[in-house]
Amino acid sequence: MLSLILIFLASFFVSGIIIRTKSLTSGRKGPDVLQPMYDILKLFRKGSIYSTTSGIVFRLAPIVYFATVLMAVLFIPFGNQKGVLSFAGDFVFFAYVLALGRFFMIVGALDTGSSFEGMGAAREALYALLIEPAFFLLMGSFSLLTGHTSFAGIFATLHFGSSISYAIGALASIVLLALALIENSRMPVDDPKTHLELTMVHEVMILDNSGFDLALIMQAVNLKFAIYGALIANLFLTKGYEMYYSIPIFICIQLVMAVVIGLIESFWARFRMNHNPQFILMITSISLFIFLGVLLMLGKIA
């Protein structure tokens, strides 16, 4: 339950910190850190407008998307404390419950009958397909290392004590950060502020969404960032940390992640569309290095 509360609190600030970091790096003061949440709350009070060409799937997609992200939050532990839901193999369910939400967003974009949103949906489906092996290689490696197949068991047992283990922890943090960027179609995969539909991914998929539906989608994105920040934090919240150490560590890692994303979006130009698959497959290669490092630690290879 504590992880659920902390992830929700982090989601209120993550977008604002990213925007504030981008503003400061460009020499501007920028909006208040809570301004994105004010915008979302304003959208929650507005009604949604639907095109006459869209059907029931388009109306259901934002609700299902938010519900799946909310369910994914329930599996995230806090150090050696289990999440609200926990069972053997739950990281597989976690991945595919997020995939279910993504599927509904893709089908909802196609339901509008817009060729632009159809292009964005096709790209979202491709990138989701390419990034899956990276996540499963990462979590499978940790499962092999710890002997557990649940988030709670993996993070409660995981310990860093050698140079190889520290390298694995650093690489895992990079992979999870890249997953957060790709899941939310941010730099360097896509620029969330661009208005050129031919190069957009996530943003072009939600062009027809408005009001309450758009607020659900935007808050789901914030929660996704906080989820991956929580997974990174759990790498360092190993058994033995007291609560008064664990909570500040969690908050600091969420803050650092948001600042790093802001710096990436400030100084790293987005790739050309045909280079995005190469970047995503590079993340899978890093996960493969983690798998090899785990085999080294277990003495499976010499």
Supply the DSSP symbol for 131.
H
d(CA 42, CA 275): 37
- In 3D, which of 216, 211, 191, 212 has the Cα closest to residue 203? 191
* Measured distance CA(62)–CA(269) in Å, rounded: 29
Which token pair is 92? 């597989």
Q: What was the pLDDT predicted at 242?
A: 67
Domain residue ranges of the chain, discontinuous segments joined by +? 2-297
Instruction: Give the pLDDT score at 238.
Output: 63
Are 91 and 139 in contact by the 8 Å Cβ rule? The answer is yes
Question: Would you write out the chain's pLDDT as a tens digit for each of its 302 residues?
Answer: 788 999 999 999 999 999 999 999 988 888 999 999 999 999 999 999 998 888 999 999 999 999 999 999 999 998 778 899 999 999 999 999 999 999 999 999 999 988 888 888 998 999 989 999 999 999 999 999 989 999 999 988 887 777 778 888 899 999 999 999 998 888 788 877 776 766 778 888 888 999 999 999 999 999 999 999 999 999 887 665 667 788 888 999 999 999 999 999 888 888 888 888 899 999 999 999 999 989 988 887 75
Supply the pLDDT for residue 298. 83
What does the alpha-carbon distance between residue 265 and residue 177 come to, in Å, rounded to a whole number?
13
Category of 79 on φ-ψ map: left (φ > 0), alpha (ψ -120 to 50) or beta: left
pLDDT of residue 186: 83
Check residue 237 and give its pLDDT.
79
Q: Quick one: tokens of 193?
A: 């502020």
CB contact at 8 A, 225 and 258: yes
Q: Is 78 helix (H, G, I), strand (E, B) or coil?
A: strand
Q: Say how far apart CA 221 and CA 156 lie, in whole Å.
A: 27
Residue 273 DSSP label: G
Round to whole Å and give the CA distance between 90 and 150: 5
Model pLDDT, residue 172: 94
- Buried b / exposed e along 280-296 (16+ C-beta atoms within 10 A): beebbebbeebbebbeb
List pLDDT tens digits, range 161-202: 777 788 888 999 999 999 999 988 887 888 777 767 667 788
Paired with 54 in beta bridges are: none
Q: For the stretch 108-117, what's the b/e string if a residue is b when 16 or more beta carbons lie within 10 angstroms of its beta carbon?
A: bbbbbebebb
- Using DSSP's 3-state secondary structure scheme, residue 49 falls into coil
Dihedral pair phi/psi, residue 127, rounded to 5° = -65, -35
Residue 189 has a pLDDT of: 84
Sign of CA dihedral 240, 242, 248, 250: positive
Residue 2 CB contacts under 8 Å (≥ 6 apart), including other chains: 78, 81
| pLDDT tens-digit map of 238-273 | 665 667 788 888 999 999 999 999 999 888 888 888
User: Can the peptide bond before residue 188 be classed as cis, meaning omega within 30 degrees of 0?
Assistant: yes
Q: Output the pLDDT for position 30.
A: 86
